[in-house]
Amino acid sequence: MLRAIRARTRSISITPQLGTFNLPEIKNEPMKNYGPGSTERAELQKAVDLMKESITKNRPYEVPIVVSGQMIETGDISEQPVPTEHHLKLCKYHNATAQNAIAKALEAKPAWEAMPFNDRAAIFLKAADLLTHKYRYRVMAATMLGQGKNVWQAEIDAAAELADFLRFNCKFAQEIYRDQPTENSPMMWNRVEYRALEGFVVAYSPFNFTAIGGNLVAAPALMGNVVLWKPSNSSIYSNFLILEILKEAGLPDGVIQFLPGNPEVITNETFNHPDFAGFHFTGSTSVFKMLWKKIGENINIYKSYPRIVGETGGKNMHFIHESADVKHAVLQTIRGAFEYNGQKCSATSRVYVPESMLPAFTQELKAEMAKIKMGPVEDFTNFATAVIHKQSYEKIKGYLDAVKSGENESTSILAGGNCNDSVGYYVEPTALITKDPHSPTMVNELFGPVLTIFAYPNDELVETLKLAEKTSEYALTCGIFAQDREAIIEMSNHLRNAAGNMYINDKSTGAVVGQQPFGGARGSGTNDKAGSSLNLLRWVSPRTIKESFVPIEAFHYPSNLKD
């Protein structure tokens, strides 16, 4: 008997982990300020100029698909244009199919999920350090040229937020693994294992945050999953650089497969596979709903119930109370509405102003908006740049044309309103004012630099809060502005379900990982809070283990015995 046990033991492969390790201290990545004359400004300018020079000489970067570390050129090529100068192409990329990638990912899975946590964490911590040191300016330059971000927007996204995601995920994962049953009855031991999901995870990322693309794949991967990544066609090059960094950091081949290209092809191949185990999505609400439906239709072919995590659109408000500091509210509104040209899911796109404050608010807003400088990203003094692509330009212009033509008759232009796509997809930062709280630009997500103001009677605060609360299908972010504490409480209470991220006297954008976990409810997503343990928990399937130490001697319980 003993010999048989020994023989079995010898056949088990054991990965030793001879210690319970503490992670290095996890802190937010310090942000560089890129002020005039700074070293970082000079280095970033050099990286941007080099990249621009290369593509201007008609040498766009070439991005393959990556399956199990193999760079594959399918020959079916598309291009990623530069939004501020659309005749330039940042990269050419090969369109993928997913077939082989699924099999290869499943092959890579057993070794990856068996790798001790400290080794998996080391890979992502190393990637964060490679990003913030060796590759910071390159990834920022790719984000600036390819996605139209100015310096500060690229810094907070492609450098700081991505590094924060990679590092804080390790901290939160360690806390999850350490979360163990606190009670053990005599002569037994209870444990919980946090297994990776059975099968593969699919991640679809949006164009607007390089960091989100990185996190959509890194979060499930850190928890032991294998991930098929379909990046947005408008952020291919920066996303490919992230994959390269992860590879240099030691990520084994096959853990993340990189599949740029036609989303419908990838969807058909991955969503119809029995091992489809999870979907990690960030993008628009309509696409998410359509994909959720497909998953539902396929439910009988899957081996498990797929985990579905989606962070989607927003129609975020600033609600201003009569006690607010007007200048502060205006400046925060300009940042919230117009930084990155309003292309953040969290962008401020509607603002409620008390009637008594309207003249001061609009005067200050117009004066400050007149100082916004718009132009290409390589001129660091530009605050606004171009929107991402032609489709987006046409959509936003359509809403503005409806205001100009009187089709949207309740609404007029207060500032801005011009569009020009002769060189880049430029939409001037625009403030509209409306008499109709349900006008199209108060309700729909435009995803561009357009803000609509609605003035409410000072004595109708509660009614207007109720109106604002149910004006759109979304519930992502919201900023309330007031000095009066009772007003803050009233506003916050009425808007409790109108936003997953609420800001008091601050703008609706700019959540920081580890400080304000991010995500919304209603039409804005599943609110699984990117950059928190809530998100990581969606990528594990816990197994509870009870081990008894001492043999029992009878099946009866004392209650079965006779007196």
Ligand X SMILES: N[C@@H](CCC=O)C(=O)O
Ligand Y SMILES: NC(=O)c1ccc[n+]([C@@H]2O[C@H](COP(=O)([O-])OP(=O)(O)OC[C@H]3O[C@@H](n4cnc5c(N)ncnc54)[C@H](O)[C@@H]3O)[C@@H](O)[C@H]2O)c1
| Catalytic residue set | 311, 345
Q: Could you tell me how many residues of this chain bind ligand Y (CB under 6 A)?
A: 28
- The span of 35-43, 263-271, 334-342, 398-406 binding ligand Y (CB under 6 A) equals 263-271
Strand partners, 320: 481
List, in order, residues 6 or more apart from 205 with CB less than 8 Å away: 212, 213, 216, 217, 229, 230, 231, 232, 235, 239, 282, 283
| Residue 230 binds: one of ligand Y, ligand X, none (C-beta under 5 to 8 A by kind) | ligand Y
Per-residue binding letters, 194-213, with ligand X (x by CB under 6 A): --------------xx----
Burial 148-164 (b: 16+ CB within 10 A, else e): bbbbbbbbbbbbbbbbb
Round to whole Å and give the CA distance between 534 and 165: 13
Strand partners, 286: none
Q: Which of 96, 345, 386, 433 binds ligand X (CB under 6 A)?
A: 345
Chain length of the chain: 563
List, in order, residues 6 or more apart from 477 with CB less than 8 Å away: 314, 316, 345, 346, 499, 500, 501, 502, 503, 508, 509, 511, 520
Round to whole Å and give the CA distance between 199 and 213: 21
Of 269, 272, 279, 270, nearest to 299 by C-alpha is 272
- Residue 311 in tokens: 């962070």
List, in order, residues 6 or more apart from 103 with CB less than 8 Å away: none
| Residue 511 binds: one of ligand Y, ligand X, none (C-beta under 5 to 8 A by kind) | ligand X
Q: Which of 344, 397, 529, 538 binds ligand X (CB under 6 A)?
A: 344
| Residue 204 binds: one of ligand Y, ligand X, none (C-beta under 5 to 8 A by kind) | ligand Y
> Would you count residue 206 as binding ligand Y (CB under 6 A)?
yes
Q: Taking the CA atoms of 219, 222, 223 and 224 in sequence, report the sign of the dihedral they define.
A: positive
- Eight-class DSSP state of 324: S
Round to whole Å and give the CA distance between 89 and 523: 34
> Would you count residue 138 as binding ligand X (CB under 6 A)?
no
CB of 477 to ligand Y, least distance (A): 9
> Would you count residue 339 as binding ligand Y (CB under 6 A)?
no
Q: Which is nearer to ligand X, 223 or 513 (CB)?
A: 513
Question: What DSSP element (H or E) covers 151?
Answer: helix 151-154
| Residue 510 binds: one of ligand Y, ligand X, none (C-beta under 5 to 8 A by kind) | ligand X
> Would you count residue 501 as binding ligand Y (CB under 6 A)?
no
Residue type, 151: V
Q: Which is nearer to ligand Y, 213 or 254 (CB)?
A: 213
Ranked by CB distance to ligand Y, the top (closest) residue is 283
Q: Which of 225, 238, 270, 312 binds ligand Y (CB under 6 A)?
A: 312
Q: Under rule CB under 6 A, which residues in 472-531 are in contact with ligand X?
A: 509-511, 518
- The span of 56-64, 70-78, 216-224, 262-270 binding ligand Y (CB under 6 A) equals 262-270
Q: Which is nearer to ligand Y, 357 or 499 (CB)?
A: 499
CA 485 from chain centre, in angstroms, equals 32
Question: What DSSP element (H or E) covers 348?
Answer: strand 348-354
Inter-residue contact 102 to 274 (CB < 8 Å): no
> Would you count residue 209 as binding ligand Y (CB under 6 A)?
yes
Q: Which of 220, 283, 376, 531 binds ligand Y (CB under 6 A)?
A: 283
**Residue that the structure tokens 């596979």 belong to:** 273
> Would you count residue 447 as binding ligand Y (CB under 6 A)?
yes
Q: Which of 174, 346, 441, 471 binds ligand X (CB under 6 A)?
A: 346
Q: Taking the CA atoms of 502, 508, 513 and 517 in sequence, report the sign of the dihedral they define.
A: positive
- The span of 62-70, 139-147, 280-288, 422-430 binding ligand Y (CB under 6 A) equals 280-288
| Residue 287 binds: one of ligand X, ligand Y, none (C-beta under 5 to 8 A by kind) | ligand Y
Round to whole Å and give the CA distance between 366 and 358: 12
CB of 507 to ligand X, least distance (A): 9
- Residue 551 in tokens: 């043999």
Per-residue binding letters, 515-554, with ligand Y (x by CB under 6 A): ---------xx-----------------------------
Round to whole Å and give the CA distance between 24 and 41: 29
| Residue 34 binds: one of ligand Y, ligand X, none (C-beta under 5 to 8 A by kind) | none
List, in order, residues 6 or more apart from 536 with CB less than 8 Å away: 169, 172, 173, 176, 219, 222, 223
Q: Which is nearer to ligand X, 215 or 464 (CB)?
A: 215
Count helices and strands (H / E) in the chain.
18, 23
> Would you count residue 333 as binding ligand X (CB under 6 A)?
no
Q: Which is nearer to ligand X, 342 or 429 (CB)?
A: 342
| Residue 509 binds: one of ligand Y, ligand X, none (C-beta under 5 to 8 A by kind) | ligand X
For ligand X, the binding residues (CB under 6 A) are 208-209, 344-346, 509-511, 518
For ligand Y, the binding residues (CB under 6 A) are 204-209, 212, 230, 232-233, 263-264, 267, 282-284, 287, 291, 311-314, 345, 445, 447, 476, 524-525
